[in-house]
Amino acid sequence: MQKRKLGKSNLEVSTIGLGCMGMSYSYGPPKEKQEMIALIRAAVERGVTFFDTAEAYGPYINEELVGEALAPFRGQVVIATKFGWKIDLKAERGLAGLDSRPEHIKEVAEGSLKRLRVDAIDLYYQHRVDPEVPIEDVAGAVKDLIQQGKVKHFGLSEAAAKTIRRAHAVQPISAVQSEYSLWHRDPEKEVLPTCEELGIGFVPYSPLGKGFLTGKIGENAKFDSSDFRSILPRFTSEALKANQALIHLLSSIAERKKAPLAQIALAWLLAQKPWIVPIPGTTKLDRLEENIGAVAVELTPDDLRDIESASSKITIQGARYPEQIERMTNR
């Protein structure tokens, strides 16, 4: 597995990481714990050194899973986790709004350290920007944790360019994590240029469009109520039908390259910038191996031009989130 550095930070990780959320949360009921521990360890054996979790996933159970699975590999792997939610196990999905007050951030860090079984959190993201708390105060709280040796690197998730600049001025940011893929390219407008200018790495979550870009989700796909795609406008049957145009485009490139669609979608991301590290999630070993295989797929300048030209003619249908969730992004 090749490695990449997240921007100008000295944080070096595998070119493709592993998003662990779906093992415990959002994509149906939690998967069997021992199977997921085996999968995470299989990822390490195959060269993956970058794992993504959050206090909110479960809540708590995903951090516990990742902590147990990676306990034998301390010092060999980088674990990213996140703060910024008010956890209430009685609330829907266990989340009762945002909370990035400095005292709360510090309290949450203690819980994450225990669940992850580490002395320091490698990369600590604010999960969503809290409009009630100045970003300078958030960055200051993480700076304190870094000075105390409890956190190594600071990150933001789904933050707007101006917010990134303000936070970076208080505590240098190592990575920004936001959704980015061939079917969600908003970061290209302002966030990626800002990251490039400031020397910040970029970590695309949902790099396979929550499964859509694998080509395995047809226009008639139905999702169980425990799968959060069941509430996403982009996963209605009308949107799925309209968005198959993107799958047809990827299929033509995949045929040319003799590679699965998922590998083309990931290789496209890797070709955008050398400091981009996608974190596709999976619960299956064959998919893990397929995703890792994307590092061997080289898209030529002609391939990239063809993708750009064809995708510019495709209008993606459906919002990626319901309005109340979308309001929490790009703040």
For the chain, domains (ranges, CATH) are 3-326 (3.20.20.100)
**Residue 132 identity (one-letter amino acid):** E
Name residues whose C-beta falls within 8 Å of residue 76's C-beta, 6 or more positions apart in sequence: 44, 49
One DSSP character per residue, 2-23 reads -EEE-BTSS-EEESS-EE-GGG
pLDDT at residue number 141: 98
pLDDT at residue number 140: 98
Rg (CA), the chain: 19
Nearest residue to 276 via CA among 300, 294, 261: 294
pLDDT at residue number 297: 97
Residue pair 80/53 in contact (Cβ under 8 Å)? The answer is yes
Mean pLDDT of the chain: 96
Pairwise CA distance, residues 80 & 323, whole Å: 27
pLDDT at residue number 96: 87
Average pLDDT over residues 317-330: 93
**Residue 175 identity (one-letter amino acid):** A
Phi then psi for residue 314, to 5 deg, are: -105, 125
Name residues whose C-beta falls within 8 Å of residue 280's C-beta, 6 or more positions apart in sequence: 16, 18, 19, 207, 208, 262, 266, 291
pLDDT at residue number 89: 87
**Residue 82 identity (one-letter amino acid):** K
Three-class DSSP category at 287: helix
pLDDT at 126 over 90: yes
Residue 321 known to be catalytic: no
DSSP 316: P
Phi then psi for residue 117, to 5 deg, are: 60, 45
Nearest residue to 16 via CA among 316, 272, 267: 267
Residue pair 62/25 in contact (Cβ under 8 Å)? The answer is yes
pLDDT at 203 over 90: yes
pLDDT at 221 over 90: yes
pLDDT at residue number 93: 82
Give Dmax (Cα) for the chain.
54
- CA of 124: how far to CAs of 53, 160, 176, 215, 263, in Å? 10, 18, 10, 33, 28
**pLDDT tier for residue 270 given thresholds of 50, 70 and 90:** very high
pLDDT at residue number 151: 98
Q: What is the pLDDT of residues 32-48, one digit of tens each?
A: 999 999 999 999 999 99
Q: Which of 138-147, 153-162, 218-227 has the lowest mean pLDDT?
A: 218-227
pLDDT at residue number 94: 83
Classify burial at 190, counting beta carbons within 10 Å of its beta carbon; exposed 0-12, middle 13-18, buried 19 or more: middle
How, if at all, do strands 12-14 and 3-5 pair? antiparallel
Nearest residue to 81 via CA among 93, 95, 67, 71: 67
Nearest residue to 203 via CA among 42, 50, 27, 77: 50
pLDDT at residue number 90: 85
pLDDT at residue number 28: 84
**pLDDT tier for residue 92 given thresholds of 50, 70 and 90:** confident
Q: Among residues 25, 27, 57, 205, which one is catalytic?
A: 57
Average pLDDT over residues 38-63: 97
pLDDT at 277 over 90: yes
Q: Give the whole-number percent of the chain exceeding pLDDT 70.
A: 100
**pLDDT tier for residue 91 given thresholds of 50, 70 and 90:** confident
Pairwise CA distance, residues 113 & 94, whole Å: 20
Pairwise CA distance, residues 218 & 244, whole Å: 8
DSSP 172: -
Q: Give the whole-number percent of the chain exceeding pLDDT 90.
A: 95
**pLDDT tier for residue 329 given thresholds of 50, 70 and 90:** very high
Q: Both tokens of residue 192?
A: 């990626």
Q: What is the pLDDT of residues 245-268, one digit of tens each?
A: 999 999 999 999 999 999 999 999
Nearest residue to 48 via CA among 257, 282, 300, 298: 282
- Output the CA angle 291-257-217, nearest 5 degrees: 50
pLDDT at 95 over 90: no
